[in-house]
């Protein structure tokens, strides 16, 4: 038997300035894995041209699993000099302005009205819930639903410690599943919230949730 101990919390965003539903959060090309990014002939040719002009060997990029942003955050031995990366970032930013990539195109599950995923399926990082930079708890799973009355989306955050058995010492106790409900005005704000989780491993909450063990 699953006992759900649900707590409510608002996401950290301006809920008074609602954006039209037709708007969708974008994903900067510097946050797309390099190998996937270079599948575009125009991007591949431009990046290769920049590296060749700077006398930089870029052959390893074709199989790089990291993003250009991650590459820039690595140690100084990145095989791509800072000045070359700067030129690549300028090119990618211009491409973003001309031909934006929408977040839901890279992560199709965001388009669905409901889904449930473990964090390993969402982000390569360990994800934590935070409030103004203060660590609250680590998240092990997220579930998305839409309120049938308001038609507004919400997320259920499941802390890593939830789901522990309590009560009987013989192992037959009830399993208590604790969750935090995060409500949003619309899909735009929900996707922005998820973008921070995917790229930065952080779920920023507006106020500290009341958690019960």
Let me know whether 168 and 76 are in one domain: no
In this model, does residue 173 exceed pLDDT 50? no
Span 67-113, pLDDT tens digits = 999 999 875 556 889 999 999 999 999 999 999 999 999 999 999 99
Let me know whether 64 and 135 are in one domain: no
Which of 52, 96, 70, 47 lies closest to 198 in space, CA to CA?
70
Tokens of 166: 């309590």
In this model, does residue 209 exceed pLDDT 80? no
Let me know whether 56 and 83 are in one domain: yes
Give the range of the structural domain holding residue 87, as residue numbers without chain letter: 29-101
The verdict on residue 209 lying in a domain is no
Last residue of a domain, one of 101, 119, 140: 101
The verdict on residue 212 lying in a domain is no
Span 9-37, pLDDT tens digits = 655 444 444 444 458 999 999 999 999 99
**pTM attached to this predicted model:** 0.78
């Amino acid at each position: 038997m699953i006992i759900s101990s649900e707590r409510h919390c608002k996401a950290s965003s301006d809920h008074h300035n609602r954006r039209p539903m037709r708007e969708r959060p974008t994903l900067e090309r510097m946050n797309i894995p390099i190998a996937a990014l270079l599948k575009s002939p125009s991007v591949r040719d431009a990046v290769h041209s920049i590296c060749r002009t700077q006398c930089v060997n870029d052959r390893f990029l074709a199989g790089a699993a990291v993003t250009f942003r991650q590459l820039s955050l690595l140690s100084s031995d990145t095989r791509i000099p800072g000045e070359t990366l700067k030129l690549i970032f300028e090119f990618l930013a211009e491409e973003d302005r001309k031909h934006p990539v929408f977040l839901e195109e890279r992560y199709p599950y965001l388009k669905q009205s409901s889904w449930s995923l473990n964090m390993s399926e969402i982000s390569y990082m360990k994800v934590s819930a935070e409030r103004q930079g203060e660590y609250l708890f680590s998240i092990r799973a997220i579930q998305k639903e839409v309120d049938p009355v308001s038609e507004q989306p919400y997320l259920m955050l499941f802390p890593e410690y939830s789901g522990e058995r309590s009560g009987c010492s013989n192992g037959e106790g009830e399993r208590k599943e604790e969750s935090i409900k995060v409500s949003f005005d619309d899909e735009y704000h929900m996707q922005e919230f998820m973008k921070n989780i995917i790229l930065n491993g952080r779920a920023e909450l507006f106020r500290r949730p009341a958690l019960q063990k």
